[in-house]
Amino acid sequence: MALIKKSFGGKVFDICNTIFLILLGIITFYPFWYEVCISFSKGEQALRGGLFFWPKDFTIEAYKVVLGGQYIWQAFRNSFFVTIVGTVIGVMITASLAYPMAKRTLPGKKILTVFILATLLFHGGIIPTYLTVRKLGLVNSLWALILLGAANPFNVMVMRNFFANIPEEIEESAFIDGASPIRIFTVLILPLSMPVIATISLWLSVFLWNDFFRGVMFLNDRTKFVLPVLLREIIQSESQIQSDGRMTETITQTITASTVVIALIPILCVYPFLQKYFVKGVMVGSVKG
């Protein structure tokens, strides 16, 4: 196939578009790189401010203080527990709700769809939510963060649209072979739905890992803090913070930056493994409504 030569205007557009995307990438990446540089710089250099393209007076003192603290590892465990358990429960609930909604023969399908979509527009509010959580005995419990984010209506609709694109003949042939509806769903449908499951898992895990507002609202015990809540406490602390019973001269700004970098590492490690499913899951789940 002969190559199609681009016009002068097309070449100019490609050049301008490339420059724009490179600049956008730099602007997007720099805040993270700035925090990395601050975290490896001495406190005096961090207080001076300005642009950081590399660490100034390289030191790892901030990481020693953060990783040597008595609450950072507990916050890590709490965040991992909330993210892993919350993602598994969220995907199970979302898939279990979305699969029957994708069936044309489901009784009351329109009413159920309207009921779910209404939750995207209307919310009970902060006070009713807190009172409900308190009545359930989930205040100061990690389960409050897990259960409140388990069923997201947007995720349900995305997964429902994905299920609707799976040919019904596949399920009919399995049903003729004697497979029960539950077996068809678990053995046949779910393996075919890995792109959308990976997409929903990524959305849920990022949301739960960064869930700050609910942590502040429901968690009072410092041993139950997740990383975003602990980071807030560090930011609000004085210029000297206490770690393992000793006072350190490390400036709070470097402590905050190192905590931010440490908190981002797990998500940065997981995303490359799920990224290949991300675009496919979103596109396929948005084709058919």
> Average pLDDT of 187-203?
85
Q: Where are the domains of the chain?
A: 72-219
How would you class 228 by CB atoms within 10 Å of its CB: exposed for 0-12, middle for 13-18, buried for 19 or more? buried
DSSP 139: T
pLDDT at 283: 54
Q: Distance between CA atoms of 139 and 130, rounded to whole angstroms? A: 8
* pLDDT mean over 24-37: 87
pLDDT of residue 22: 92
Q: How far apart are CA 145 and CA 216, in angstroms?
A: 10
The pair of three-digit structure tokens given for residue 147, joined into one six-digit string:
């259960």
CATH H-level, domain 72-219: superfamily: MetI-like (1.10.3720.10)
Structure-model confidence comparison of residues 252 and 54, the more confident one: 54
Contact 169, 188 (CB under 8 A): no
Answer yes or no: is pLDDT of 57 > 70.
Answer: yes
pLDDT band of residue 92 (cuts 50, 70, 90) is very high
Q: Where are the beta strands (DSSP E) in the chain?
A: 242-243, 246-247
The span from the CA of 15 to the CA of 11, in Å, is: 6
pLDDT, residue 238, reads: 47
Closest by Cα among 177, 192, 205, 201 to 99: 192
pLDDT digits (tens, 9 = 90+) for 108-136: 888 888 888 888 887 777 888 888 888 88
Which range (32-41, 77-86, 141-150, 278-287) has the least confidence?
278-287
2 versus 203: which is more confidently predicted? Answer: 203
- The rounded distance, in Å, linking the Cα atoms of 76 and 85 is 14
| Lowest-confidence segment of 44-58, 133-147, 273-287 by average pLDDT | 273-287
DSSP string, 39-71: HTS-HHHHHH-S--SS-SS---HHHHHHHTSTT
- Angle, CA 23 vertex, CA 20 and CA 27 arms, to 5°: 135
**Which neighbouring-strand residues pair with 247?**
242
- pLDDT bucket at 23, cuts 50 / 70 / 90: very high
Beta carbons within 8 Å of 203's beta carbon, 6+ residues apart:
152, 155
How much is the pTM? 0.76
